[in-house]
Amino acid sequence: MRALTIFKAVFKNWMRSRSGLFFSILFPVLLLLVFGAIFSGVGSSSKYRLFVQNLDINATDATPSELSVAFIDALNSTETFGINEIPADENATEYAQEVLGPLGGNMRILVISEGFQNDLLNGTLKVRVGITYETMDMYYWYVEPYLTDSQKSAFQQGLAQMQQYNATIPDAKASLTIMLDPADSSATIVKSIVMSIASAFNYELIGAENVVEFREASVTTKHYSNVDFYVPGITAAFIMTNGIIALTATTTEFKRRGIIKRLSLTPLTKLDWVVGNVLCQTILNLMLAGIMIALGWVVFNVRVIPDAFSIALILLGSIMFSGMGMALSGFIKDVEAASAIGNAIAFPMMFLSGTYFPLEIMPSYVQTISKALPLTYVAEGLKHAMIYQNPEGVYINMVIVAVLAVVFIIVGSLVTRWKEK
Amino acid sequence: MGKTVVEADSLVKRYGQLMAVDHISFEVYEGEVFAFLGPNGAGKTTTVEILECLRPLTSGNARVLGYDVTRSEDVKEIKKRIGVLPQEFCALDKLTVKENIALIGDMYDRHLDIDEVIALLDLKDKVNEKFENLSGGLKQRVGVAAALVSDPQLIFLDEPTTGLDPKARRDVWAVIANLKRLGKTVFLTTHYMEEAQVLADRVAIINKGKIAAIGAPQELISQYGGLKILKIRGGDKALASLLQKKYDKVSLNGNGDVLVKIDDVDEFWRVMATLAELKINKDVEIQTPTIEDVFLKITGGIITEEGELK
Ligand SMILES: Nc1ncnc2c1ncn2[C@@H]1O[C@H](COP(=O)(O)OP(=O)(O)O)[C@@H](O)[C@H]1O
Ligand SMILES: [Mg+2]
């Protein structure tokens, strides 16, 4: 109840301060503007971007099979593709969408199936044995009149054995799947180049028949503008800066001006104080995120529409970071220290959590660090919700964020010191 | 004398080497205005904030309204029952007078009608004014209103008039006098001699963490204030030296007035007779000693307008 009163008071106080409103909106919009401008031109090199996912990995030593590597080398040797390899354990479309995010462009994915090498070798062997059989058979047809009966039966036995043997070779064709976006104007060119490389590869191996089966699948690149991909990250980063920097600064300012002292002289509890402030920042964040995304629609042609999951995550993320801010301001004395400490925590976290640059293209140690940063989960969750519309990817992040939110609020009310020395 | 609402017994607060509060003991009784009078750094705020449960004490005992300030269950009870104007009171800048008073009121289970409190402090014209736009005096009045809104049994006012101009100061005095009329118990701190003398039923003179004297202003004055002074306006050195032959304590002040300290009425008439003999016809007035004289006597200094001891 008192938390609600505190919420109403600080909220009103905030809403009436024009500078607060101005900076809270200006900051993320500027970021959006900067990133939008930087990346809108990149990625238009003369090579065709092609994602390749090699699923043909040797079980024993976890290395890709020689033939699949040779095939990728063959693709590379054409110098027409800019190839991005997708790790085997990733969801190919999501991964490609993510990397494409900042760069823009269409999604083209070639998947080398598991067993590519095996199937290719078997296929080649079967074709070779078949060719040998047919050659022998034809030869037999020519020479039959001149053979003795025993020679004939030996020949026929040999042919029969050969046929039997060939039947034991699995009749698999090594498969390649190419996924292209029908809306992609370069799709047919890319497809024909890949196909011709595959057949060249065929000839190289056996000289003739197709042992590589070529499958096509169509994918739809979700038509987001470049800026769209920054929306989840910027929203997450902005929730964080509001919690860690802005809320810490306002509460430290309240402390400096003796407002907290005045309130601490009443029956108000620390938990009520913390919850009231967290609530206020959370509502502000929801509003500001709404304003930001709306601005994105109007100014940057953003197409992202936040769904219920995104809103829930923004809510939980705000609670978490505001709780963190309250925990920080619990032991920070002055406003300068508050903003210094807030910045020192917020900025590295912003860049190490994949909010601006996809984690996938970061060094692996960054990926490891990112797992320890709460922002990662908000950003990841929002990405899954806003861009991929993939609820499964949201849940786990949401649970982590919710747990951290409760933890920070409790820590916040425990470390808040009201007594003077 | 009402029952005891504040009891401090050998209270000590130490900051490292500094004894901010040095074994002080005193009581505050229900319905009185009690004042701590002392220069900056005397230990007023420290003592008051220990009683408000805002600072821990180093040693000694303190009870407020019968509750022990060091026990956390008691602290809750104390907080419900006291109203505080902290030194350098501040409120939320963008909220109005009314909203700020209501915010403090809502922290309690019950509170007085906000409009009544506003009327009591004569803030009606300013109800919807934002706190940031108020003058210092009005801000202090909002602070007093916030201290009153929970209808507390005991009100602490820490330097309620420091930094105010004389007019605003007198307005706040009127408010405090009004509280006294309403039967409130008020614990006031100040470095203004006059404030203590005008408002307080009892004054404790505090200096360097110790209570130097405690009592009703009149008691203190008669105990420490010394003699009354007969002031002869527009006197001169000649007159002063003439009088000096007959009386011990004659001096000249900066305005050229001759001052003669007198023990009693008889002495007054004797001086008057002497003046008549000398055919001196000048304005004469009698000055009674004030708390300032008491303070001078006890501490050997006076407190400046800024609160420094000189
Ligand atoms: N938190 C603190 N840490 C160290 N010294 C303090 C602290 N608070 C007050 N003091 C010192 O204690 C003494 C009494 O201060 P205070 O109670 O504020 O005096 P007053 O209110 O009478 O002006 C002063 O010397 C002051 O510097
Ligand atoms: Mg003080």
Q: Which member of B52, B91, B150 has the closest CB to residue A259?
A: B91
Judging contacts by C-beta atoms under 8 Å, the chain B residues touching residue A271 are: none
Give the model's confidence band at A42: pLDDT under 50 very low, under 70 low, under 90 confident, else very high: very low
The burial of A136, by beta-carbon neighbours within 10 Å (0-12 exposed, 13-18 middle, 19 or more buried), is given as middle
Judging contacts by C-beta atoms under 8 Å, the chain B residues touching residue A251 are: none
A263 plus A401 within the same structural domain: yes
Give the model's confidence band at B14: pLDDT under 50 very low, under 70 low, under 90 confident, else very high: very high
Q: Which member of A262, A419, A420 has the closest CB to residue B89?
A: A262
Query: Could you report the per-residue pLDDT of A248-281, keeping only the tens digit for each?
Result: 888 888 988 899 999 999 999 999 999 999 999 9
Say which residue the tokens 């202090």 belong to.
B140
A191 plus A90 within the same structural domain: yes
The whole-number pLDDT of residue A104 equals: 67
Can you spell out the DSSP letters for B277-293? Answer: HTT----EEEEPP-HHH
Q: Which member of A14, A257, A419 has the closest CB to residue B56?
A: A419
At which of A206, A232, A258 does a domain end? Answer: A206
Nearest CA in chain B to A420: B55
The whole-number pLDDT of residue A315 equals: 92
Ligand 1 binding residues, C-beta < 6 A: A 420-421; B 15, 18, 20, 38, 40-46
Strands (E), A185-310: 212-218
A195 plus A90 within the same structural domain: yes
A420 domain-assigned:
no
How far away is chain A from the Cα of B144, in angstroms, using its nearest Cα? 12
Q: Give percent above pLDDT 70 in chain A.
A: 81
Q: Is residue A421 less than 8 Å (CB to CB) from chain B?
A: yes
Give the model's confidence band at A36: pLDDT under 50 very low, under 70 low, under 90 confident, else very high: low
Neighbour order of strands in the sheet with B284-287? B250-252, B258-262, B228-232, B284-287
Which of the pair, B258 or A24, is modelled with greater confidence?
B258
Q: State the average pLDDT over residues A130-148.
A: 74
Domains with residue ranges and CATH for chain B = 4-223 (3.40.50.300), 227-288 (3.30.70)
Which of the pair, A221 or A150, is modelled with greater confidence?
A150
A211 domain-assigned:
no
Q: Is residue A362 less than 8 Å (CB to CB) from chain B?
A: no
Give the model's confidence band at A75: pLDDT under 50 very low, under 70 low, under 90 confident, else very high: confident
Nearest CA in chain B to A15: B94
Nearest CA in chain B to A272: B107
A214 domain-assigned:
no
In a mutational test of the pocket of ligand 1, which residue from B19, B46, B304 has the highest number of ligand atoms less than 8 Å from its CB? B46
How far away is chain A from the Cα of B190, in angstroms, using its nearest Cα? 19
At which of A178, A206, A234 does a domain end? Answer: A206
Indicate whether A2 pLDDT > 50.
yes
Q: Show the tokens assigned to A73.
A: 């080398």
Indicate whether A43 pLDDT > 50.
no
A229 plus A375 within the same structural domain: yes
In a mutational test of the pocket of ligand 1, which residue from B22, B37, B45 has the highest number of ligand atoms less than 8 Å from its CB? B45
A241 plus A361 within the same structural domain: yes
B90:A258 CB<8 A: yes
The burial of B273, by beta-carbon neighbours within 10 Å (0-12 exposed, 13-18 middle, 19 or more buried), is given as exposed
Give the range of the structural domain holding residue A318, as residue numbers without chain letter: 2-40+223-415
Which of the pair, A133 or B91, is modelled with greater confidence?
B91
Answer for the pair B228, B288: CB distance below 8 angstroms, yes or no: yes
B92:A259 CB<8 A: yes
Q: State the average pLDDT over residues A142-160.
A: 80
Which of the pair, B85 or B299, is modelled with greater confidence?
B85
A268:B107 CB<8 A: yes
Q: State the average pLDDT over residues A217-232.
A: 62
A76 plus A27 within the same structural domain: no
A249 plus A108 within the same structural domain: no
At which of A153, A178, A206 does a domain end? Answer: A206
Total domains, chain A: 2
Give, in degrees to the nearest 5, the angle at Cα A273 between A270 and A275: 105
Size of interface A-B (CB pairs under 8 A): 70
Q: Is residue B88 less than 8 Å (CB to CB) from chain A?
A: yes
A69 plus A150 within the same structural domain: yes
CA–CA separation, B62 and B299 (whole Å):
26
Say which residue the tokens 């050229």 belong to.
B256
A136 plus A108 within the same structural domain: yes
A242 plus A367 within the same structural domain: yes
In a mutational test of the pocket of ligand 1, which residue from B13, B17, B18 has the highest number of ligand atoms less than 8 Å from its CB? B18
Query: Could you report the per-residue pLDDT of A91-106, keeping only the tens digit for each?
Result: 888 888 888 776 667 7
How far away is chain A from the Cα of B254, in angstroms, using its nearest Cα? 44
Judging contacts by C-beta atoms under 8 Å, the chain B residues touching residue A16 are: 94-95, 130
A280 plus A406 within the same structural domain: yes
Q: State the average pLDDT over residues B19-42.
A: 96
- The rounded Å distance from CA B80 to ligand 1 centre is 26
Nearest CA among B246, B196, B241 for reference residue B221: B196
Query: Could you report the per-residue pLDDT of B178-205, keeping only the tens digit for each?
Result: 988 888 999 999 999 999 999 999 999 9
Ligand nearest to the CA of B44: 1
Q: Which member of A16, A265, A418 has the closest CB to residue B84?
A: A265
A213 domain-assigned:
no
Indicate whether A44 pLDDT > 50.
no
Indicate whether B27 pLDDT > 80.
yes
A25 plus A112 within the same structural domain: no
- Average pLDDT along chain B: 91
A215 domain-assigned:
no
Judging contacts by C-beta atoms under 8 Å, the chain A residues touching residue B88 are: 258
The whole-number pLDDT of residue A214 equals: 59
A421 domain-assigned:
no
